[in-house]
């Protein structure tokens, strides 16, 4: 994975967001990763931020970096479960709730989110 996807369920003021972006770049650089680009997209509840890194990282490392960048904690936990189960497209951000009929899902006991699993 080369793109970190950060879900912020919050609309920070512009100066806060600018500071957030610069501190994420500094943190990633300290960890040995360089930011190629950073794009922000508005959602109903806040922002989705896509951070492109200079190189690919393993799924576990990518999820850890997303956590350190402030990704939604429940999403990080669900992503860990998806990674452990071997789901290829574990790093999804949704703009609206999508349900697939006939898909096998488990419900998170903590947050109630539905998590698709392989048959």
Under 8 Å between Cβ of 53 and 64? no
| Domains, the chain | 3-94 (3.30.70)
Residues 6+ apart with CB under 8 A from 88: none
Residue ranges, the chain, pLDDT below 70: 94-103, 118-119
Condensed to tens digits (0 to 9), the pLDDT of residues 52-85 reads 999 999 999 999 999 999 999 999 999 999 999 9
Tell which phi-psi region holds residue 78, choosing left (phi > 0), alpha (psi between -120 and 50) or beta. Answer: alpha
Cβ neighbours, 10 Å, residue 29: 12
Q: In this predicted structure, what is the pLDDT of residue 106?
A: 77
Tell me how far apart the alpha carbons of residues 88 and 31 are, in angstroms, rounded to a whole number. Answer: 25
48 phi and psi, to 5 degrees? -110, 130
Q: In this predicted structure, what is the pLDDT of residue 115?
A: 73
Under 8 Å between Cβ of 76 and 53? no
Q: In this predicted structure, what is the pLDDT of residue 114?
A: 74
> Which has the closest alpha carbon to 61: 43, 80, 46?
80
């Amino acid at each position: 994975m080369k793109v970190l996807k950060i879900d912020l369920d919050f609309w920070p003021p512009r100066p806060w967001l600018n500071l957030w972006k610069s501190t994420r770049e500094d943190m990633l650089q300290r960890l040995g990763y360089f930011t190629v680009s950073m794009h922000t997209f508005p959602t109903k509840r806040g922002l989705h931020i896509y951070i492109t890194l200079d190189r690919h990282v393993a799924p576990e490392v990518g999820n850890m970096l997303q956590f350190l960048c402030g990704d939604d904690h429940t999403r990080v936990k669900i992503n860990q479960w998806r990674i452990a189960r071997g789901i290829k497209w574990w790093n999804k951000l949704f703009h609206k709730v999508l349900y697939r009929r006939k898909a096998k899902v488990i419900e998170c006991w903590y947050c109630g989110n539905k998590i698709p699993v392989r048959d």
